[in-house]
Structure 1
């Protein structure tokens, strides 16, 4: 058996046959070239089947073209896009309007809550009377602690603190006018606890404490006989040293006291705080702001507006009304430089 000869040429990769896939529109878009008719004398059988005429492919491509036309016709036009954008803008504006409305409602509710939180707490109706009575009794205790004090108004600031006691002592002796009294014991004497007023402003009041209450009461009885006392070219006025709460109440009832003075109706102040008028054997009293209308009605006086001196409630301290402003506490000893409040853990380890 004879073996075949090996090829001496270089080996090459065999090529794969190219397969052409035709689409339904290829024959319509690229019609085939007409071929020459075979010779009549040739009786050899054809090697390939005869190609179909191009006219047979045209009816098959019509549905594809119609489908393509329908797809193109279904695409949105410029007017459709404009309408879509308009609908989107309208819906977005509607939602934004709803959001703005909700934010405005929340802002209104928040403002109402803030205003309500800033208001002082309201006491129950059953406790208002009890709170007012407790307030009056605390004010009475404050006034009792001041019962030995005398307030002098009109003494110039030129009188130094060193000469203040001597000057007040001579003023009291002049007002009493009793040769038998040659000494008035004073526990303390000082200016009101306020900053020094500027030039031309009224001077600060002088507050002094007389050791003997009987002597103080006698001095105030004589002092009430005049509005002002001229002592050493000074126009002086003497008052009881009252608590800020009592002064605020008397200031609020000034319209009522003016009516009483115009009608020449005698009245008196009482402690715990009250304003009392005794007419035809009947006592009419004001203890709270709510008592003013009944008081005016019983005395046949016209109605006047009176502010509520207890309006401060729990949020305002009577001791700080019209008195010395409170300052934050300060250290009695200065802190050493370079010394921290608490050593760090690293410093302890070193």
Structure 2
């Protein structure tokens, strides 16, 4: 019984024995239990005397050479790339410097031209005012009449206007109301279809023209048969446009019972408290209205035609 138990125990211990241990024991049993081929002392002596593997040393040496070559190659390539980058950066810097200098010159040249344009605009404005004044002076003897029916023929215009002016100036003789020419004007596109064409006439003498315009300032000056007639001075388009710019000022002056009249070149002569105030521009007229307290009157917007100045954004370092 004891023998069978010991056999089972031995089989169990053999089952849990590692395979490597079993192989060693099997080799030892086949060797006949002799001594190992080399004792520990002999192995130690042999390891000290035997040289290292020459193939390994050659491989390590070759790898070291390859790493050195790779490092040298990378260093050379990086130096070349860095040199090229520095060259490109230097070239870009020089080009940027030239561009900055050129743009600064362009800005200065533009500002100089802008100043010259403003000066030329002022001179042109003065010239146009003088030209408009000359044109208005050439029309000083003219009158424009609106509302004469088309039934009045061209041959009847002289007698028709002479009768109208004599009704305004009873003391004027026909010789004083002499016409150099009289004719109808083309109808402007903005005029109503049924509206008669305007009539333009030139008086031979200047004083009757002024007397006629002065008499028309009275609302009841025209007789009933002529109440559909309107008489205007003949002015250039430039002067008419300039007077339109003063329209809001003249409306406020009329609402405040303040007298005014037009001057040449276009200016507004305002009579207030026995003093004549001259407004050459719309801005001056607006300022006078604000100083007199004629309501809350904001200045009219004016178009800005002055060229814009340029500020150089690049500065040479």
Give the TM-score normalised by the residue count of structure 2.
0.52
Alignment of 1:298 onto 2:291: yes
Post-superposition offset of 1:126: 3.3
SS in 2 for 1:264: coil
Post-superposition offset of 1:124: 3.0
- Look up the match of 1:162: 155
Instruction: Report if aligned partners of 2:243, 2:266 keep a CA contact under 8 Å in 1.
Output: no
Post-superposition offset of 1:195: 5.9
- Look up the match of 1:181: 173
- Look up the match of 1:243: 236
Instruction: Report if aligned partners of 1:189, 1:206 keep a CA contact under 8 Å in 2.
Output: yes
For 2:223 and 2:190, the matched residues in 1 are separated by 23
For 1:311 and 1:206, the matched residues in 2 are separated by 38
What does the per-residue CA deviation read over 1:10-29, in whole Å, with 9 as the maximum and x for residues that have no partner? xxxxxxxxxxxxxxxxxxxx
SS in 2 for 1:190: strand
Q: Which has the higher helix share?
A: 2
Alignment of 1:276 onto 2:263: no
- Look up the match of 2:129: 136
Post-superposition offset of 1:252: 2.2
Post-superposition offset of 1:305: 5.0
For 1:244 and 1:312, the matched residues in 2 are separated by 21
Instruction: Report if aligned partners of 2:146, 2:198 keep a CA contact under 8 Å in 1.
Output: yes
Post-superposition offset of 1:203: 1.9
Post-superposition offset of 1:287: 2.1
Instruction: Report if aligned partners of 1:151, 1:208 keep a CA contact under 8 Å in 2.
Output: yes
SS in 1 for 2:238: helix
Post-superposition offset of 1:300: 2.5
| Unpaired segments ≥5 residues, structure 1 | 1-120, 314-350
What does the per-residue CA deviation read over 1:101-146, in whole Å, with 9 as the maximum and x for residues that have no partner? xxxxxxxxxxxxxxxxxxxx99733344333222222111111011
What does the per-residue CA deviation read over 1:150-202, in whole Å, with 9 as the maximum and x for residues that have no partner? 11121112212222222112211222122x61342101111123369998632
- Which structure is higher in RCO with an 8 Å CA cutoff and minimum separation 6? 2
- Please provide the CA RMSD for this pair: 3.2
- Map 1:23-172 to 2 at 5 A: 124-172=117-165
For 2:220 and 2:134, the matched residues in 1 are separated by 28
Instruction: Report if aligned partners of 1:191, 1:206 keep a CA contact under 8 Å in 2.
Output: yes
Change (3 A) 1:239 1:199: closer
Post-superposition offset of 1:282: 5.3
Runs of 4+ more than 4 Å apart: 195-200, 280-283, 310-313
Change (3 A) 1:154 1:170: same
SS in 2 for 1:136: helix
Instruction: Report if aligned partners of 1:252, 1:307 keep a CA contact under 8 Å in 2.
Output: no
Change (3 A) 1:311 1:253: farther
- Look up the match of 2:72: none
For 1:127 and 1:232, the matched residues in 2 are separated by 52
What does the per-residue CA deviation read over 1:31-79, in whole Å, with 9 as the maximum and x for residues that have no partner? xxxxxxxxxxxxxxxxxxxxxxxxxxxxxxxxxxxxxxxxxxxxxxxxx
For 1:208 and 1:127, the matched residues in 2 are separated by 37
SS in 1 for 2:259: coil
SS in 1 for 2:257: coil
Give the TM-score normalised by the residue count of structure 1.
0.47
For 1:312 and 1:171, the matched residues in 2 are separated by 47
Count of equivalent residues: 191
- Look up the match of 1:287: 280
Post-superposition offset of 1:303: 2.1
SS in 2 for 1:207: strand
